[in-house]
Amino acid sequence: MIVTVTLNPAVDKTATLACLHVDAVNRLRSVCSVAGGKGINVAKVLRQFHLSVAAMGFLGGRSGRMIEESMEELGVDVRFTTITGETRTNLNLLADDGTVTEILDPGPEVTGKEINQFERNFLGSLEECEMVVFSGSIPKGVPEDIYARLLESCARMGVPTILDTSGEPLKKALEGSAKPFLIKPNQAELETLCGRKLKKREEVVEEAQKLVDSGTGVVVVSMGAEGLLYVDREHTLFEPAKSVAVQNTVGCGDTAVASLCMSILGGDTAQVAARKAAALAAANAVTAQSAVVDMDTYLKLL
């Protein structure tokens, strides 16, 4: 079983429109709401490959119930901690010119009692899982070292981990004693982490190698339309992005994380893991709904 942890899940509302105008009235053409959040997206992709997945994190209110029901319909083992606050709703605006605008809700505030309950539930789940994937931001009330603490619990149980977050939670996790096996920052997140602009690919490689040298097993940097960079102690690989007719880029990074998770558990080589992640992310981009992959498209791209 794979455990996905989404501390700040969301209902993802995707809307289409002709063109987004700032400081003006915008009329939407269509609206679709689905369960979202980075770890939720990872779980959705893993279930499309028929893997056993347990989803954990915080859920509250009507939005939380909608996410819980959506996950159950996919066959995910739902183990979320119920909170008094309302789970957030994010808005993704898809314009005809290809631009994607994300408007992100900060989310509810979580209490100390709710955090303690989640951590107890999480420790119990470690006894029966092969890997843990931590994804996304943290809601208000959750300490910034939460991922560092959870990584230590995984290390004590010998469970490998993937971490896909940003800002202070990522920084504190990498400063902790237990390093994740793999992290997947995008280039902007890596720049924030290292404190400088990375104008050349060589500079991105340099910073990724520093993280590997400090104890992280694998660093995969998603670079949008360029592709992705895969760095470990033995490899520095760049996989160019596939040329596809993009409909929606939301969830591409999460799809790549799901692919990398499957590659680790399946024993793929670094080259194969990078190739699969790039192909699966591109297959996600050609669908309007995030974290939904057409398998025929994926196999052709692969």
Q: Which residue has the higher pLDDT, 246 or 170?
A: 170
CA gap 92, 158 in Å, rounded:
38
- In tens, the pLDDT along 124-136 reads 999 999 999 999 9
How far does Cα 300 stand from its chain's mean position? Answer: 24
Mean pLDDT on 249-278? 96
- pLDDT at position 6: 98
Mean pLDDT over each residue of the chain, to the nearest integer: 95
pTM for this structure? 0.92
Residue 74 — pLDDT band, cuts 50, 70, 90? Answer: very high
218 CB burial (10 A radius; 0-12, 13-18, 19+): buried
pLDDT greater than 90 at residue 73 = yes
> Residue 146: pLDDT band by 50, 70, 90 thresholds?
very high
Alpha-carbon span 14 to 28, nearest angstrom? 10
Q: Across the strands, what pairs with 56?
A: 5
List, in order of start, the domains of the chain with CATH numbers: 2-301 (3.40.1190.20)
**What's the residue count for the chain?**
302
Helix, strand, coil shares of the chain, percent, nearest 5, are: 40, 25, 35
CB atoms within 10 A of CB 66: 17
- Cβ of 280: how many Cβ atoms within 10 Å? 28
Told to judge if 164 belongs to the known catalytic residues of this protein, a careful annotator would answer no
Q: Percent of the chain at pLDDT above 90?
A: 88
Which among 12, 145, 164, 254 is annotated as catalytic?
Answer: 254
Q: What average pLDDT does range 186-205 have in this prediction?
A: 95
